[in-house]
Amino acid sequence: TLRATYRPGSIFKMIQGLIAMDRGVLRPSNRIACDRNIIGCHGPHRFDNLEEAIVHSCNPYFHEVMKRMIQDGSTGSIFSDAHQNLGTWSESVRTFGLGTDLGGHFPALRSGSVPDTTDYDRMYGRKRWAYSTIYSISIGEGELLTTPMHMANLAATLANRGHYITPHAVRGSEGIERMESGIDDRHFDAVIRAMSTVVTANDGTGRRAATPGVEVCGKTGTVQNPNGNHSVFIAFAPADNPQIALSVYVENAGAGGDWAAPIASLMIEKYLHQDVTQSAKEQRILKATYPFPELPL
C-alpha cells in the first residue's frame, strides 16, 4: 500500500476531466469522437460527453482533452506549447496528492511520479518533445506512478468534492491538515454521476461493485503490465454521505471490473453493515487461483 508503485491507468481520466473543466477547455456536455486513429479503445461508443467517456473509459476522449491543455496553439510551436503548459498541468495533478508524500504522516510512503517539463527535457532534450511524445499520460499510463494509498486518497478527494484530509493512522482528524485541489466543486457533479453509473449500469465496467443497500461510486482501471495487467478499482460510499473511500489493486488479474471491483464491494459492505451477505461473490474471490480466469462480459 505504501511502497508499491503502479500506473494509475483509467482512474486518472477523472483528474484529467476535472482539470480541463476548471481551465475552461472542456464542458461536461462537449462530445468528442472516439476515432481511435492515434490511441485505441474498446466497446461500440462513438461520440461521448464527459460522463459517457468516464463510464466507457474512452481513451481517445481523454487523449483529446489533454491535448487541448498541452498543445493549445498559444506559441505557434507544438514543442514550445508542451514546454510551456506541461508544468502547470503537473502542478494541478499534484493538488490531488499524486506525486507527493500526502502530508508526511507515513514516512515509508513513496511519492510516486507526476512527470513535468524537467523530466522530459532530461529524457528527450529541451524542447525536443511535444504532446505527441507524451500522450500516454493522458490515460494514466507512461511515466505516471502512484501507490494504492494515493488512489484511495483520490477516492476520498472525489467524495469530498475537491479536498482531502492528510492520511493518518489515528482515530479522528483534529490537527490534521486539510488539502485543497483548487478545483471548483461544481465540476465534480458530472464526474460523481459517472462514477455512480459505472457501478449501477447493466453494462457498467464496475457493475460487480454493486452492494446491497448502498449506492457505490467507483471507477475501474486496467493498468498495463507486461506480465499481466493489474486489476484496479477505486470507490467511495454511500454516494450521498460518504463514509468510506478505498482503492483495490489485484496484481496480474486483468480488468478492473473482474476482481478489484467485487473485492471493493465486499469491503464496503463489511465496513458499513458489519456483515457480508454476498456469499456467492465472496466465495468466488476466496476460491480464485492464479492465473485469474477471464470473466464473461
Question: Within the chain, where are the H helices?
Answer: 13-23, 50-56, 59-70, 78-94, 117-124, 131-134, 148-159, 188-200, 260-273, 279-286
Is the pLDDT at 21 greater than 70, yes or no?
yes
Is the pLDDT at 219 greater than 70, yes or no?
yes
CB 21 within 8 A of CB 28: yes
pLDDT recorded at residue 44: 84
Q: Across residues 248-266, what is the average pLDDT?
A: 96
Of the CA atoms within 13 Å of residue 193, those in its CB half-sphere come to 11
Is the pLDDT at 29 greater than 80, yes or no?
yes
* CA-based radius of gyration for the chain: 19
Confidence of residue 176 (pLDDT cuts 50, 70, 90): confident
Is the pLDDT at 293 greater than 90, yes or no?
no
Confidence of residue 296 (pLDDT cuts 50, 70, 90): low
Q: Across residues 143-171, what is the average pLDDT?
A: 93
Intra-chain end-to-end CA distance of the chain, in Å: 29
Is the pLDDT at 22 greater than 60, yes or no?
yes
What topology does CATH give the domain 9-286?
Beta-lactamase (3.40.710)
pLDDT recorded at residue 124: 97
% of the chain beyond a pLDDT of 90: 87
Confidence of residue 103 (pLDDT cuts 50, 70, 90): confident
Q: Across residues 9-22, what is the average pLDDT?
A: 98
Report the C-alpha gap between 76 and 47 in whole angstroms. 29
Pairing of strands 178-180, 32-33: unpaired
Domain boundaries along the sequence of the chain: 9-286
273: its cell numbers: 453493515
Is the pLDDT at 297 greater than 80, yes or no?
no
Confidence of residue 153 (pLDDT cuts 50, 70, 90): very high
